[in-house]
Amino acid sequence: MDARAYIEAHGDEFLTSLKEWLAIPSISADPERHDDVRRSARWLADHLTETGFPTVEVWETPGLPAVFAEWRAADPAAPTVLVYGHHDVQPVDPLEEWETEPFVPTERGTSLYARGSSDDKGQVLFHALGVRAALAASGADAPPVTVKLLVEGEEESGSVHFAELMKANRERLACDVAVISDTTMWAPDTPSMCVGMRGVTDVEINLFGPGRDLHSGSFGGAVPNPLKIMSDLLSGLHDADDRVAIPGFYDGVVEASAQERELIARLPFDEEEWLATAASTAARGEKGYSTLERVWLRPTAEINGMWGGHTGAGGKTIVPRSAHAKISFRLVPGQEPLEIQDRVREYVEANTPDGITAELEFGGPGVRACASDLSSTALKAARSAMGRAFGKEVLFTREGGSGPEADIADILEAPLVFVAVGLNEDRIHAPNEKVEMPLLLKGAESAAYLWEELGAAKDA
Amino acid sequence: MDARAYIEAHGDEFLTSLKEWLAIPSISADPERHDDVRRSARWLADHLTETGFPTVEVWETPGLPAVFAEWRAADPAAPTVLVYGHHDVQPVDPLEEWETEPFVPTERGTSLYARGSSDDKGQVLFHALGVRAALAASGADAPPVTVKLLVEGEEESGSVHFAELMKANRERLACDVAVISDTTMWAPDTPSMCVGMRGVTDVEINLFGPGRDLHSGSFGGAVPNPLKIMSDLLSGLHDADDRVAIPGFYDGVVEASAQERELIARLPFDEEEWLATAASTAARGEKGYSTLERVWLRPTAEINGMWGGHTGAGGKTIVPRSAHAKISFRLVPGQEPLEIQDRVREYVEANTPDGITAELEFGGPGVRACASDLSSTALKAARSAMGRAFGKEVLFTREGGSGPEADIADILEAPLVFVAVGLNEDRIHAPNEKVEMPLLLKGAESAAYLWEELGAAKDA
C-alpha cells in the first residue's frame, strides 16, 4: 500500500485521535491548566507508543513536560531526523467570540475548529500518521530514517525551559536535520515551505528629566522635556528611506539570495488583500523592498508602545518628569540579538542630552533569526516530498515572527527544514482557531515521502 | 498721617480681616464648595462696604459670583483705575502634605499659611487697606483717582464666565488703566513688576493607523506605525536650535525691547538655584536666549503628554493602531492663538503620510499673551509707587504662565499694569501656600502711592 492510500484509509482514525487530544485544554500560560498540560503530554506519549515508537518518554522540566519519542532506522547509517512541535496551546480569551467551544473539536466543512488544531497539535500528530504511512509504503518494520520527536509543553509561554532541556539531552537529540512543524504554508492550492524566521529583541527605554512634573508656564522651553527627547530618539530610529538608522544595525546582515527573492516574488501575493488583512490603508516600509520582503527578509525597528506625562482627559500644561517607550527589533540571519542590544544602548547614550538620564531594560537575551540552507539535501528532499504530496511546485516563504527554532539549530547543530500545512487564515492565537483537515493529511503524506527521500538520499 | 504710618497702625486689623476671609474654603473647582465661594463673595462685599466704598455689588454669573466695588474721585477729571483680582482658591489636594490646615490661617515667622493667602485673597485685600491709607495721607474723603475693584470667583476654574461678565458690564467697568494684583515679584529685597504674561493654546493630536493592533512579526516594517509618525511629528516641532519649526509660528511676534531685556538681565538670577527649583540638572531651550528670556519672552511648544500602544508590563510586539499626544504652545505678544491653531493644523496635515489619519482637538480658543506699555504714564507711576514703598529700584519681570488678563485689556480697552507682592516661593496651587505679611503691607503702601501718583499725573 502506498503512503497516500494508507493515509486515506486511516484518515478518520487519525481525526478521531486528534479530536481526543484537542479536548485537553493544555494552556501553558494558565497555572490552573497545568494539570491539563501534563495530561496532554501523557496522551501524546500513549499515542506515540500505540503508533509503534519503541522509545517514548515524558521529559519533565522545572515547568511543564515535553514528550520525546524515537524510532530508529534499521540501517545504522541512515540519517537521523528530529521533528519539533509543541503540545501546549494559547489561552482562549475572549471566550465569547468562539462560535463553538474551544475544547470541543467541531467539524464544519473541511475545517476542524478547536484551540490548538493548527497550532500545533494537528501538525504534531500528522507525523504519527506519516511515519506509519512510510512503513506501509516500504513494507518494513522500521522507518527509512531514524525519527525522533521532541514536543515541548511551554512554547506558548515563552519556551522558558526548552533550551536547558535540549542542552541537557544533547546526545539523545542528536540529528542530521531538524524538521519544524509549527508554521504555515501560503494557501491550500499554493504549497510552500518556510525557509526562515526573523529573530527579535526588545527594549524599554525610560528617560528621566526634571525630578517632578513642572508647570510649563514657569519652566517650559527652558529645561529638557523627556517626551521631546524621546520623540527625537524614536524619530531617529529610521532614515528618510525607512531604513533603521541606528549605527551598526545592519552589520553582518546576510542578504537573501536571488533565488529566494525570485521564489517569493512568484507567490500569488495580493497587496490589496494583504492591506485588508493588515487593517491598513497604505503599505510603508524600507525603500527598495516589496511588502513580503519587508516582513520576511528585512530587519525592523518597531515602536510597540510609549507613554509619559499627562494622558488623561483635558489639558495639563506640564513638562513631564519622564518618558517611556517599548521597541522591538525584528532581526534577520547574521544579526546577533546581544550585539543589537549594544548598538541600541550606544544609540540611546549618544542621543541623550544633558539633563536627561536614560535607563534601558532589555527583555532578555532575545531570539536569533534562523534560515534554512537552500542548497542542502534536506531542504531539497523536503521540497520534493511536499511537491509530491500536493502535486505542485513548492514555493518559499519566511515567517516575520520569531520562535525558539534558532535555538534548536544552534544547540543541536542541525540545519532546519520547515514542513507545515497550517494557514495564515487558521486564526492561531485568536478565537475560532481551525485547521484544514485535508491539509493535515497532505502533511502526513509529505512526512512519509520526506523520510523516504532522506533515506534514499544517504544511499545516493 | 502718611500712608506708611496709617498702614503700620492698621496692619493687625488688616491681618485679622484677611484671616477671617481665608477661613472660607472658596474652591471654585469643587461643586461642594460653591456655597463657600458665594459666602466668600459676600464677605468681601461686606468688607469693602466697611472700608468705605460707596458702591459695592455682588455680580452673579451663570457660575460663581464676582464682586464689584467703586469709589469715585472727587474730581470728575481724575483717571479711573480698575483693580483685578479673584476671591476663589485652588483645591487643597494632597491634604496630607499640609503642615497646618489649609483653611485655618496660621502665622509662622513673617509668613501667613493658608490656601489663597498669596493667590489671591491677600493681594486683593491689600487694596482695601491701600485706598484707606491714600485717604489718610491726603486727608480727603475720596481717593485721588476713581478706584473700581473687580474680583472674580472663577479664576481657578478657567474664568469661564468672566469675559461675558466684563462685556455685559463694559460701561461700568470703563477705566484708564487696569491694575492686576495676581502675580509675583522677584524677591522680598528685589521689588519688581511683571510687564507681560505669555498666552497659551493647546492641542491633542490623535493619529490612527491600522484598524487594530497588529502583530509586529507579521506586519511590522510594512505598514505605517502611528507611534513612529507621531515621533516624527513631535520631533519636528523644534529645529536643531530648539526654535519651534512649525512654519509661520513666529509670524508677528513682537520682540521685547532692549530696555526690558536689560532690566531682566539685572535681576539677581541664580541659574543653579533655578535649576534646583526646576528639579532639573541642565537648562535647555531656544538658542540665543537666557533662561529667563526663554520662559518669559519666547513662545514655546511643549509636549505635555503622549501615549499609544502597549504601555503595561513586559513586551508586546505590536504595531499599535493609534498614537496620541497633548501639546501646549506658550505665546507672546503678536501671536494670535487661533492663527497658531491654523499653523499647527497645517503642520500636522503636511506631515501625516498615507495610511495614517490625524484628528486634532484644540482645548478651546486659547489665551492671548499680554504686555504692559513700558512707556505709559500708568506703568511709570506704578513703578515709582512700588519704588517708594520698597525704597529700591523696581526691576521688570514677566510671567511665563497665562491668565485672563489679556481679555481684560481687550474687552475694557485699557492698558495693564501689574502690581503684586506674591513670591514664587509662596507655593500657590500647592500644599502649604503662604504669603509674606510684611509684603502685603508693602503692597497696600504701593497701592496708596499709585493712586496718589496717578491723581497727580492727570494734573501734570
pLDDT tens for A381-419 read 999 999 999 999 999 999 888 877 888 999 999 999 999
B225 to chain A: which residues are within 8 Å by CB? 302-303
Domain locations in chain B as residue ranges = 3-197+369-459, 199-253+299-362
The answer, for B313 touching chain A at a CB cutoff of 8 Å, is no
Query: CB of B183 within 8 Å of any CB in chain A?
Result: no
A53-109: per-residue pLDDT in tens? 999 999 999 999 999 999 999 999 999 999 999 999 999 988 999 999 999 999 999
What tens digit of pLDDT does each residue of A270-300 get? 999 999 988 999 999 999 999 999 999 999 9
ipTM: 0.86
CA distance A364 to B181: 58
How many whole angstroms separate alpha carbon A331 and alpha carbon A338?
A: 11
Nearest CA in chain A to B217: A401
Cell numbers found for residue A309: 506625562
Cβ distance of A399 and B303 shorter than 8 Å: no
Distance CA B194, CA A425 (A): 67
Do the Cβ atoms of A305 and B310 come within 8 Å? yes
Stretch B20-29: mean pLDDT: 97
Question: Residues B136, B447: contact at Cβ < 8 Å?
Answer: no
The neighbouring-strand residues paired with A358 are: A207
- Asked if A302 lies within 8 A of B278 by C-beta distance, the reply is no
Q: Is the pLDDT of residue A460 over 50?
A: no
CA distances from B349 to A443, B229, B230, B366 (A): 51, 12, 12, 21
**Span B362-403, pLDDT tens digits:** 998 898 999 999 999 999 999 999 999 999 999 999 988 887
CA distance to partner chain B, nearest, from residue A197 (Å): 9
Average model confidence (pLDDT) for chain B?
95
Query: CA-CA distances (angstroms) from residue A10 to A132, A144, A188?
Result: 10, 21, 21
pLDDT of residue A459: 53
Q: What is the DSSP letter of B23?
A: T
Segment A201-215 shows an average pLDDT of 95
Model pLDDT, residue B458: 63
B3-197+369-459 matches B199-253+299-362 in fold: no
* pLDDT tens for each residue of B313-334: 888 889 999 999 999 999 999 9
Instruction: Give tens-digit pLDDT for A211-268.
Output: 999 988 889 999 999 999 999 999 999 999 999 999 999 999 999 999 899 989 999 9
* Residues of chain B contacting residue A300, judged by C-beta atoms under 8 Å apart: 216, 220-221
**Cis-peptide into B94, omega within 30 deg:** yes
Report the amino acid identity of residue B189.
Answer: D
Whether the CB of B311 is below 8 Å from some CB of chain A: the reply is yes
All three cell numbers of B373: 506699555
Cell numbers representing residue B440 in the block:
502685603
Angle formed by the axes of helices B226-235 and A226-235, nearest 10°: 120
Mutate to test the interface with A, among B182, B216, B246, B253 (most CBs of A within 10 A): B216
SS3 category, B91? coil
End-to-end CA distance of chain B: 25
pLDDT at B460: 47
* Multiple choice CATH, A199-253+299-362, 3.30.70.360, 3.40.50.300, 1.10.357.10, 3.30.70.330: 3.30.70.360
| Cα–chain center distance at B212 | 43
To the nearest whole Å, the CA of B258 is away from the closest chain A CA by 21
Of A236, A284, A316, the CB nearest to B304: A316
> Helix, strand, coil: what percent of chain A each, to 5?
40, 25, 40
Cis, peptide link before residue B410, omega less than 30° from 0: no
Nearest-CA residue of chain B relative to A293?
B222
Our CA-based measurement puts residue B244 at a distance from the nearest CA of chain A, in whole angstroms, of: 10
The order of strands in the sheet holding A300-309 is A357-362, A199-208, A322-331, A300-309, B300-309, B322-331, B199-208, B357-362
Residue type at A127?
A: H
pLDDT digits (tens, 9 = 90+) for B80-96: 999 999 999 999 988 99
Q: How big, in percent rounded to 5, are the helix, strand and coil portions of chain B?
A: 40, 25, 40
SS3 for A32-69 is HHHHHHHHHHHHHHHHHHHHCCCEEEEECCCCCCEEEE
Per-residue model confidence as pLDDT tens digits over A329-357: 999 999 999 999 999 999 999 999 999 99
Among the partner residues B228, B282, B310, nearest to A355 by beta-carbon distance: B282
Q: How confident is the model at residue A313 (pLDDT cuts 50, 70, 90)?
A: confident
Any B CB within 8 A of A363 CB: yes
| Number of other CB atoms surrounding residue B9 within 10 Å | 12
Rg (CA), chain B: 24
**What residues contact residue A412 under an 8 Å CB cut-off, 6+ apart?**
A82, A166, A170, A173, A174, A175, A178
Q: Count other C-beta atoms under 10 Å from residue B104's C-beta.
A: 12
Lowest-confidence pick of A138-142, B158-162, B377-381: B158-162
Instruction: Determine the Cα angle at B346 with ends B340 and B348, to 5°.
Output: 105
CATH architecture for residues B3-197+369-459: 3-Layer(aba) Sandwich (3.40)
DSSP state of A94: S
